[in-house]
Structures are given as C-alpha cells and as structure tokens.
Amino acid sequence: MAKKPQCLCVLSAAQQGVSAHSFIHSFTLTHSVFQVQLATPMGQPIEFVDIDENTKRWISEFRTKSFATPTKLELVDAADYSVLLIPNSPGAVYDLSTHRELGNILNSFIADKKPICAIGFGVAALCSAMSMDGRTWMLREYSLTAPPVREMVSRSDFAMMPIILEDFLREHGASYTANAGVGVHVVVDKHLITGQNDQSTLTTVQNLVLHFNTRTSSLIDQRIHSYVF
C-alpha cells in the first residue's frame, strides 16, 4: 500500500483553545487522505472549546489514539509535509500569531507553493509569516478571509486580543472579504485556502484536498513530460 502524504495540523495550546467542531470536521476529512501530524507550541496539550455531548464523546475516544498526542511545533521540518492545516482556533490569536518557528514553516510552504489551509481564528497563525527582518508579511497581496471585527467584538476576551484579524490583514496588504452573516465563506487564492468561520470548515478542507490532488497530478504530468524527448 502506498504511503499517505503528510499533513501538518497546527493547533493552539492557549486556554482559549481549539474549536471542537472545526477540528473534528478537519481531522475526519484529512485523515482519510493524509497521515495527519498534530503540532502545538512545545507539544502542549490541546484545549478543545465549544464542546457538546456529541463532540465530547468523539474527543474522548480520539484522545485514546496514539496520533492524538501533538508533537512540538518547534521541531517540525516543513520539508516533511505536503499540506498545512490550521482549524478554527481562538487561541491562535495568542500563541500562534507571532510564533517564530511557525513563521519559518509557513514561509517554506509559501516559497514551495504547497497548500496552506486556515479556518476562522486559525487564520491568525498566518500572521507569523513575516520576512527575516520582520518588516514584510509574506502573504501580502493574497486574497483571504477571517472572522470580521463585528464577530470578534462579541467575544468576552476581545479587549485582551493582541491582534484584530481584519485590521491586520488589511494593514499588511491582503485583499480581505467576509460574509455579512454567519454562513459559509471560503476564499481560494493560488495555494492559500481560508474559511471565515466554523461553518466554513468542511468546504474549506474539501478545497484543500482538491488543491492537493490537482497539484500532485500536475507535478506527475511535469515529470512525465520531462522524460519525453
């Protein structure tokens, strides 16, 4: 059996946590296609939030699996992975948005044009992709989405947030769009796929898988043509 390609799933370890619903949809879909490696800052445990009875049972069973233990984000080699996934993680605003090692991983993915997928507050992790001198955001001029200010102000921790996503994206040169309501909104720009909220998780990750399959087919075709004289 052919070995599955590797997916790096980056998660927050901050107390604001990771959306249970977004993670479950993300993991279930990618696990069928990829070998999924979870990673958190320093390999700290994942704090799931917005849990109901259904997600509680799923997570309880998930935690018994060997692959449920995250590796240290600081030890990740970007070259080992084909795609990067960041589910909706409210905690990402606090511990991933300025994470230097994650920034290096993202910059490697950007340079190699490998698929990057971020959902909801997980988009905050993309803010770490700064240039070596810290002056330029490496995803400037990309089109993407994230929770708008009007959604963020309803959170009890809004006043403590170190960054406001919509403001950061606009100020750093991105083309930002968002739905007026809470429906599905996904933006695909080259190898970057972003979803606005929890409700957008399934469609966003489906686009990630589709983009990976298309990219893989294209690379195979290129290799075949290179052998044609």
* CB-side neighbour CA atoms (13 Å) of 171: 8
The pLDDT of residue 225 is above 60: no
How do the residues of the chain divide into helix, strand and coil, expressed in percent and rounded to 5? 45, 15, 40
Tens of pLDDT, residue by residue over 186-223, are: 999 999 999 999 999 999 999 999 999 998 866 544 44
**pTM for the model:** 0.93
d(CA 229, CA 227): 6
6-222 belongs to CATH 3.40.50.880: yes
Contact indicator for 187, 194 with CB cutoff of 8 Å: yes
Stretch (H or E) spanning 189: strand 186-189
Residue 136, token pair as written in the block: 């330029």
d(CA 218, CA 220): 5
Contact indicator for 178, 172 with CB cutoff of 8 Å: no
Contact indicator for 150, 173 with CB cutoff of 8 Å: no
Phi, psi of 150 (to 5 degrees): -65, -25
Q: Where are the alpha helices (DSSP H) in the chain?
A: 20-31, 53-62, 92-95, 100-112, 149-152, 165-171, 201-226
Provide the pLDDT for residue 229.
43
Which of 11, 7, 19 has the alpha carbon at shortest distance from 198? 19
Tens of pLDDT, residue by residue over 35-56, are: 999 999 999 999 999 999 989 9
Provide the pLDDT for residue 159.
92
Tens of pLDDT, residue by residue over 139-183, are: 999 999 999 999 889 889 999 999 999 999 999 999 999 998 778
How far, in Å, are 57, 59, 199, 201 from residue 52 at the CA level?
9, 10, 16, 17
Residue 133, token pair as written in the block: 């001198």
